[in-house]
Chains A and B, each alone.
Chain A
Amino acid sequence: KQEVTQIPAALSVPEGENLVLNCSFTDSAIYNLQWFRQDPGKGLTSLLLIQSSQREQTSGRLNASLDKSSGRSTLYIAASQPGDSATYLCAVRRTGSSNTGKLIFGQGTTLQVKP
């Protein structure tokens, strides 16, 4: 059974800091891994998608890495801003036709960036 864990559960940093959010998964047979952002009471916004054959993806101040063999992904946020305050979720899609459309989510890391 695939389990996804995110550490830490909550994080508070001063503006301008670089930070790393961690995501681990128990089964390395994944199709891809996706990082999302969720603002309070809102839906999910996709940040980065990493295919199983890729090692990292970058978008602006965000960089996500994937190490399938160790079952880990990290989301690096450079020069954090108050507008980055949100809950960050990672989700994996397992391989196999029985897992299409099904993402398995971690519990999220709630980030607060203080001005």
Chain B
Amino acid sequence: KAGVTQTPRYLIKTRGQQVTLSCSPISGHRSVSWYQQTPGQGLQFLFEYFSETQRNKGNFPGRFSGRQFSNSRSEMNVSTLELGDSALYLCASSLVTGDSGGYTFGSGTRLTVV
């Protein structure tokens, strides 16, 4: 079965612009979580969505937002990009929120802000 699909794989944006990243979970999975990975901070949790509702949120500014659609696909948006937003953005899916089965990650979107 298909894994977690993230698009695009690579993105270059200019400071001040906004960007939208997409994540399609494994078929049947309804929970999607987003993470930011940087060399300095490692992997940090952004937010989790389940049944189109944000269930949990990490400690990121309001410029970072997300949403989930009825087919469980999720998007995250970053507005007014800063150089420090350059990172690998990963999404993970699980069957349901609070699932004991663990999480499956996508290959990520590499965002470079110049």
Contacts and interface: CB of A to CB of B under 8 A. Distances in A.
A34 B43 contact: no
A100 B43 contact: no
B45 A103 contact: yes
B110 interface: yes
A97 B72 CA distance: 20
Interface residues of A, number: 26
B102 A46 contact: yes
A42 B107 contact: yes
- Secondary structure class of chain B's binding surface, majority of residues: strand
A105 to B, nearest CB: 4
Contacts of B104: 46
Contacts of A102: 33, 45, 48, 56, 58
A95 to B, nearest CB: 10
Interface range for B: 20 to 34
B16 to A, nearest CB: 26
Contact of B110 (A34, A41, A46, A99): A41
Interface of A: 31-32, 34, 36, 41-46, 49, 51, 89, 91, 97-108
Interface of B: 4, 6, 31, 33, 35, 42-43, 45, 48, 50, 55-56, 58, 88, 90, 92, 94, 97-98, 100-108, 110
